[in-house]
Amino acid sequence: MLSHLLRLHGIDSIVLESRSRDHVEDRVRAGVLEHPTVELLCRNGLGERLKQVGLKHDGIWLSFGGVRHFIDMKELTAGKSITVYGQNEVIRDLIKARLDAGAEIAFEVENLSVHDLESATPRIQYRHNGAAHEVVCDFIAGCDGFHGVCRPSIPDGVLSVYGRAYPFAWLGVLAEAAPSSEQLVYTHHDRGFALFSMRSPTLTRLYLQVDPEEHIDNWPDHRVWEELKLRMTTRDGWSPHEGPVTQKSITPMRSFVVEPMQFGNLFLAGDAAHIVPPTGAKGMNLAIADVAVLARALREFYANGRRVLLDQYSESCLQRVWKVQRFSSWMTSLLHRNACENPFDRRRQLAELEYVVNSRAAMTTLAENYVGLPLDND
């Protein structure tokens, strides 16, 4: 995304990807795009297929006590909404746009390392197709995820690290089943959280709260469906449609932030700098917000030679990051069961759910954050 935004302003870049093109285009991950993310993609020539096949949602359901309660985000936020469009589909659109523009993308690179980060000419070394390569550049954008090489290349003592590991994980499944609801359904249940989502008119995406030490082999398909039905079936008879499970995985949940998000001429973005629990559907959107800020700062530098926005990159991004961490943590604590809870905690949680679905002010706060805070870019 950063490479695409830079090209629109005549700034050259090279994308180095450790995985294959098939892997990044086919791996099913996040799927909810905030309103500002959709606007940014469409405004920059990436909205054609999104508009054709993306599923626009005007609200979400909160379900507890066997009853679903609708949060009308469109009405509460003066017409804003979210769009279900898989992260792999966004990646597919971006790769096509970059290659159609003649940009350089190197897939399946190996042994990548970054050097001279505080100099005016930082370097990237890697191997590709069996040959050694070196890129000498003005800036490096570390968009390489939590396990990438960029953040660990920053010297010890520079970064402050903030984190929290949650005492539960999500078991996620992708099923060949037509969605049984037009909107996402977030379920709070005595047995644990569950989420109904979708990826297309024929694919349903579902999640179950499980123990972080749980093993996927303990969850054959029939057990997954039994547990989903137990948690999600409502008093009016609604439940997710069943179908063949095509993908299944367990993902631990954590919050993570490093400060600052820059060192010398290296700028961290996305999961390299922060991770949010998936309850609020913010990870991909937060990464796109980062590079929108970085693209604007780089445009200013190349147009006018000023580094003010580059120097403010971390501060600008972290204002949004911490607001999103707050919301994602709140959504997680609102909907999940914690083994450490006592009866007081349980009753307080139910009272908060009742308050949220019966207070316009509370619903508006949820809706404003869920559809996405405004992007800090022009």
Q: Give φ, ψ of 243 to 5 degrees.
A: -175, 170
Question: Which among 4, 57, 80, 188 is annotated as catalytic?
Answer: 57
- Residues of 117-135 as b/e, b for ≥16 C-beta within 10 angstroms? beeeebebebeeeeeebee
Is 260 catalytic? The answer is: no
Sheet holding 123-128, edge to edge: 110-115, 123-128, 131-136
Which stretches within the chain are classed as H helix?
A: 2-7, 21-26, 35-43, 48-53, 73-76, 87-100, 221-232, 283-304, 308-311, 313-335, 343-358, 360-371
E strands present in 211-291: 245-259, 262-263, 266-268, 274-275
The residue among 182, 164, 206 whose CA lies nearest residue 70 is 182
Question: Among this protein's residues, is 96 annotated catalytic?
Answer: no
Label residue 17 left, alpha or beta by phi (over 0 means left) and psi (-120 to 50 means alpha): beta
Whole-angstrom Cα distance, residue 28 to residue 79? 29
Cβ atoms of 264 and 158 within 8 Å: the answer is: no
Count Cβ atoms within 10 A of the Cβ of residue 286 and give its class: 0-12 exposed, 13-18 middle, 19 or more buried.
buried
The residue type at 312: Q
Active site annotation includes 370 = yes
Our answer to whether residue 122 is catalytic in this structure is no
DSSP lists the bridge partners of residue 185 as 61, 196
Residue showing tokens 């099913």: 28
Q: Tokens 């090279």 correspond to what residue?
A: 14
Given the residues 35, 188, 274, 282, select the one marked as catalytic. Answer: 282
What number of residues does the chain have?
Answer: 378
Active-site residue, from 85, 126, 166, 186: 186
Strands laid side by side in the 266-268 sheet: 140-142, 266-268, 262-263
Rounded distance between C-alpha atoms, residue 82 and residue 256, angstroms: 25
- How many CB atoms are located within 10 Å of the residue 66 CB? 13
Task: Return d(Cα 19, Cα 352) in angstroms, integer.
Answer: 43
Q: Kindly name the residue from 36, 188, 278, 313 that is annotated as catalytic.
A: 278
Active-site option among 126, 166, 207, 370: 370
Does 57 participate in catalysis according to the annotation?
A: yes
Active-site residues, by number, are 57, 186, 278, 282, 370
